Amino acid sequence: MNRVACVVRSHSRDKWSWYVLPWFVVGMAFVINWAIGALAAEGDVIQTGGIASIFVYMFVSGCISVTQSFPFLISLSVRRRDYFLGTTIMASAVCLGSAILLYALTEIEKATGSWGIGMRFFTIPWIDSIPDVGRIWMYLIVLLLMFFLGFFISCWHRRFGRIGLWLLSIGIFAAVTLALVLTTRYERWDDLGRFLGGFSPLGLISWLAAPTALLFAGSYLLLRKATV
């Protein structure tokens, strides 16, 4: 059997972590929010941020998958390249499925008048105006970004160890701080605001495909030299 397919199959044996748990987490958040919403005053529309949980889960999933499966599969004589492709294919498929599911849940939410109590769990006004395929695409991009962010960090840790991870954190913190300081110093916040405002939500989020692709490539380069 093609070894990339073997890796995908190996991942898919872990149904709990990939399919069940993320939606279980979302489900719990939903139930809690609904219970609170049901007790609130009639007529109010509540916007919860519960939908964020699926995106956070994807990030965590990216972090954990390398720790869980990389030592195991490499020890069984799987190539790093096959591991990388198999894992990213699995993750992408799960992200796509999740994106479609999110879309479906959003539609149901709209149809039931926000679940009968005016609670907006899945819908986000800013995004709602975009037609269906565009919305699925946006969910997909953000989910992939979150996964590969976690995945990249995990690969970095695998390659450079704890100290390397520490240095990375410091580096990112420094870079972000520097960017904020410079933007403030040169009073470019207005320019930034106008620049970003010029994009449609769809366009803006599509740009996130670029860092996602970079994280994807970077992860591979890191794994190539990772040891078990």
Partner 1 sequence: MTNVVEVRNLTKSYGDFKALDSVSFALREDKIYGLLGRNGAGKTTIMHLLTAQQFPSGGEVNLFGENPYENNRVLARTCFIKESQKYPDTFTVRDVMSVAATLFENWDREYASRLIEDFRLPLKRRVKKLSRGMQSSVGIVVGLASRAPLTIFDEPYLGLDAVARSLFYEHLIEDYGKFPRTVILSTHLIDEVSLMLEHVLLIDKGKLMIDEDAEALRGSAYTVTGAAAKVERFSKDKQIIRKESFGGLLSVTIVGQSSESEQEEARASGLETAPVSLQQLIVHLTKTESSQEKEGERK
Which ranges in 112-200 belong to alpha helices (H)?
Answer: 125-128, 132-185, 189-197
Q: By C-beta, is 69 or 106 nearer to partner 1? A: 69
Question: Which residues bind to partner 1, rule: CB under 8 A?
Answer: 1, 3, 6, 9-10, 13-14, 16-17, 68-69, 71-82, 224-225, 227-228
In angstroms, give the least distance from the CB of 165 to partner 1: 19
Q: Are the C-beta atoms of 51 and 33 separated by less than 8 Å?
A: no
Q: How far is the CB of 21 from partner 1 (least distance, A)?
A: 10
* Spatial separation of the C-alpha atoms in residues 173 and 11, rounded to whole Å: 33
CA-CA-CA-CA torsion sign (213, 214, 215, 219)? positive
| 137/220 with CB nearer partner 1 | 220
> Nearest distance from residue 71's CB to partner 1, in Å?
4
DSSP string, 58-69: HHHHHHHHHHHH
Q: Is 79 or 208 the residue whose CB approaches partner 1 more closely?
A: 79
For 98, residues 6+ apart whose C-beta sits below 8 A from its C-beta are: 22, 54, 58, 139, 143
CA 26 to chain centroid? 14
Amino acid letter, 210: A
Instruction: In angstroms, give the least distance from the CB of 192 to partner 1.
Output: 43
Would you say 76 or 133 has its CB closer to partner 1?
Answer: 76
At its nearest, how many Å lie between partner 1 and the CB of residue 226?
Answer: 10
Paired tokens of 176 = 């972000």
In the numeric block, which tokens belong to residue 24? 């279980």
CB of 99 to partner 1, least distance (A): 24
Q: Looking at beta carbons only, is 110 or 225 nearer to partner 1?
A: 225
Considering beta carbons, is residue 1 or 111 the nearer one to partner 1? Answer: 1
Q: Using CB atoms within 10 Å of the CB of residue 37, give its burial: 0 to 12 exposed, 13 to 18 middle, 19+ buried.
A: buried
